[in-house]
Amino acid sequence: MAGGRLLVFGTNIFELTKYVFLVAILVALFFVFVGSPVFVRGESMEPNFHSGQIVIVEHLSFNAGSAVRRGDVVAAKFPLDPTHTRLIKRVVGLPGETVTVNNGHILINAKLLPEDYAPHFGAIPYPEIRETKLGSGQYFLAGDNRPGSSDSRLWGAVESSDILGRVSFVIWPPKDFQYVTRPIGD
């Protein structure tokens, strides 16, 4: 009788191990091909994203050639420390455009960029780049909390090869779980 129980117990552990291994492989494949988690650090994307949140950065459509659109929230390598730091910012300037910055307000080709998602309050804590002509494959990224964000206004354009993907979901904390919508048009 004891031997029978041991066999059942051993079979259950074997089955459980198979399922855990299968789930681990599926999660790893998801992170490699579909999306990966990124921790939100700092206040640069307030009030839309908060420090401590975990977002899923979707790679699949970027790998398939889906265009980056104005208003997308993307994860990118920090140009001053590309091997160690990933950040999330909003795409405001697209390749070929001229971006002008004045007191935290952004103009694209001399037209004020309407930004309902970016509250304008407080003084900008550093000198801003006044005008930038974006080259082919360059994007101008900005935090939604302009006075509290280090972004392209300070360190310049980001190359398309440094954009890791689009922020698609907030997954942590559970109360903040949501799909991050893409902008309707340009």
Q: Which residues are catalytic?
A: 44, 89
* Closest residue by Cα to residue 152 from 73, 111, 110, 92: 92
DSSP helix, strand, coil percent of the chain (3-state; round to 5): 25, 30, 45
Query: What are the residues facing 111 on neighbouring strands?
Result: 108
Number of C-beta neighbours around residue 143 at 10 A: 24
- Is residue 150 exposed (0-12), middle (13-18) or buried (19+ Cβ within 10 Å)? middle
First to last CA, the chain: 72
Buried-state track 152-174, b at ≥16 Cβ within 10 A, e below 16: bbbeebbeeebbbbbbbbbebee
Say which residues have a Cβ less than 8 Å from residue 5's Cβ, sequence separation at least 6.
none
